[in-house]
Amino acid sequence: MTGTWASRLIIGLTLTFLIGPFFIIIAAGLSAGDFLAFPPDGLSLKWYLKVFEVESFRESFALSMFLAVFGTIAALILGVPAAYAISRYQIPYGETIKTIVAAPIIVPGIIVGLALLRYLVVPLNFTITLALFLAHTALVLPYAVRVVSSSLNNLRSDMEEAAVLLGCSRLGAFFRVVLPNIQSGVLAAFILGFVTSFNQVPVSLFLSGPGVRTLPIDMLSYMEITYDPSVAALSALLALMSVVIVFVAEKFLGFSRYV
Amino acid sequence: MSSAFVSLQNVSLAYGKTVVVPDLRLDIRKGELVALLGPSGCGKTTTMRAIAGLMSLHAGSISIDGVDMSRTPANKRGVGLVFQSYALFPHLNAFENVAFGLRLKKLPRTEIIGRVEHGLSTVGLSHLAQRKPAEMSGGQQQRLSLARSLVMEPKVLLLDEPLSNLDARLRLEMRTELQRVQRDTGITMIFVTHDQSEALALADRIVLMKDGVIEQLGTADDLYNRPETEFAADFFGFENIFEVSGSSIRGPQGSVSISFTAKAGHLAWRPGAVKIGSGPHKATVRGVAFAGEHREYVFDTGLGQIKASAPAGEPAYELGASLSFDLPEDGALSIPAKN
Per residue in B272-324, pLDDT tens?
A: 999 998 889 999 999 999 988 999 999 999 899 999 999 988 888 999 999 99
Question: What's the pLDDT at B1?
Answer: 45
pLDDT at A108 over 80: yes
Residue B39: name the closest of B163, B196, B273 by CA. B196
User: Which has more pLDDT, B23 or A229?
Assistant: B23
Contact residues, chain B, for A163 at CB < 8 Å: 89, 100
Question: What's the pLDDT at B87?
Answer: 93
Please tell me the distance from the alpha carbon of residue B225 to that of residue B321, in angstroms, as a whole number: 32
Please tell me the distance from the alpha carbon of residue A130 to that of residue A211, in angstroms, as a whole number: 14
- Reduce the DSSP state of residue A117 to 3 states and report it: helix
Question: What's the pLDDT at B182?
Answer: 87
pLDDT at A53 over 90: no
In total, how many domains does chain B have? 2
B339 pLDDT band (50/70/90 cuts)?
low
Question: What's the pLDDT at A240?
Answer: 87
B133 vs A: CB within 8 A: no
Rounded (5°) CA angle B143-B148-B152: 135
Q: What is the pLDDT of residues A121-132, one digit of tens each?
A: 888 888 888 888
Residues B283 and B299 sit within 8 Å (Cβ to Cβ): yes
The mean per-residue pLDDT over the stretch B215-234 comes to 94
Q: Which of B233, B255, B277 is the last residue of a domain?
A: B233
pLDDT at B123 over 90: no
Same domain, B140 and B30: yes
Hey, how many other C-beta atoms are within 10 angstroms of the C-beta on B264? 11
Please tell me the distance from the alpha carbon of residue A255 to that of residue A192, in angstroms, as a whole number: 9
Same domain, B209 and B328: no
Question: What's the pLDDT at A89?
Answer: 83
Among the residue ranges A33-42, A87-96, B48-57, B246-255, the one predicted with the least confidence is: A33-42
Q: Which residue of B has its CA nearest to A162?
A: B87
Nearest to A165 among B52, B89, B105 (CB): B52
Contact criterion met (CB < 8 Å) for B87 and A161:
yes
The mean per-residue pLDDT over the stretch A101-107 comes to 81
Contact criterion met (CB < 8 Å) for B74 and A164:
yes
Question: What's the pLDDT at B76?
Answer: 92
Complete DSSP assignment for B32-89: -EEEEE-STTSSHHHHHHHHHTSS--SEEEEEETTEE-TT--GGGS-EEEE-TT----
pLDDT at A73 over 50: yes
Q: Which of B176, B202, B233 is the last residue of a domain?
A: B233
Same domain, B53 and B199: yes
Question: Could you tell me whether strands B156-160 and B79-82 are parallel, antiparallel, or unpaired per DSSP bridges?
Answer: parallel
pLDDT at A258 over 70: no
The mean per-residue pLDDT over the stretch B135-146 comes to 91
Nearest to A177 among B54, B89, B148 (CB): B89
Contact criterion met (CB < 8 Å) for A164 and B83:
no
Please tell me the distance from the alpha carbon of residue B173 to that of residue A7, in angstroms, as a whole number: 56
Please tell me the distance from the alpha carbon of residue B143 to that of residue B165, in angstroms, as a whole number: 12
Residue A19: name the closest of A179, A256, A254, A242 by CA. A242
Same domain, B318 and B276: yes
B232 pLDDT band (50/70/90 cuts)?
very high
Same domain, B160 and B296: no
Same domain, B196 and B249: no
Backbone torsions φ then ψ of A239, nearest 5 degrees: -60, -40
Q: Where are the domains of chain A?
A: 55-226+238-257
Same domain, B155 and B266: no
Same domain, B90 and B148: yes
User: What is the percent of chain A where pLDDT is above 70?
Assistant: 97
- Reduce the DSSP state of residue A33 to 3 states and report it: coil
The mean per-residue pLDDT over the stretch B231-247 comes to 92
Same domain, B260 and B326: yes
Same domain, B59 and B45: yes
What length is written for chain A? 259
Measured between alpha carbons, how far is residue A105 from residues A100, A109, A115, A187, A239 in Å? 10, 8, 14, 20, 22
Contact residues, chain B, for A186 at CB < 8 Å: none
pLDDT at B145 over 90: yes
Residue B199: name the closest of B36, B5, B14, B12 by CA. B36
Q: What is the pLDDT of residues B28-64, one digit of tens each?
A: 999 999 999 999 989 999 999 999 999 999 999 999 9
Query: What is A55-226+238-257's CATH number, 1.10.645.10, 1.10.3720.10, 3.90.960.10, 1.10.10.10?
Result: 1.10.3720.10
Q: Which of B199, B233, B267 is the last residue of a domain?
A: B233
What is the residue range of B331's domain? 239-336
B90 vs A: CB within 8 A: yes
User: What is the percent of chain B where pLDDT is above 90?
Assistant: 73
Please tell me the distance from the alpha carbon of residue B1 to that of residue B338, in angstroms, as a whole number: 26
Please name the residues in contact with A158: beta carbons below 8 A apart, sequence gap of 6 or more: B83, B85, B87
Q: Which residue of B has its CA nearest to A158?
A: B87
CATH number at residue B166: 3.40.50.300
Same domain, B126 and B177: yes
Question: What's the pLDDT at A13?
Answer: 92
| Dihedral sign computed on CA atoms, order B103, B108, B110, B111 | negative
Nearest to A167 among B75, B85, B91 (CB): B75
- Reduce the DSSP state of residue B129 to 3 states and report it: coil
The mean per-residue pLDDT over the stretch B3-27 comes to 92
Complete DSSP assignment for A209-236: BTTB--HHHHHHHHHHH--STHHHHHHH
B79 pLDDT band (50/70/90 cuts)?
very high
CATH number at residue B291: 2.40.50.140
Same domain, B268 and B162: no
Beta bridge partners of B19: B14
Q: Which residue of B has its CA nearest to A167?
A: B75
Residue B91: name the closest of A164, A80, A176, A174 by CA. A176
Q: What is the pLDDT of residues A177-186, one digit of tens each?
A: 999 999 888 9
Question: What's the pLDDT at A257?
Answer: 65
pLDDT at A101 over 70: yes
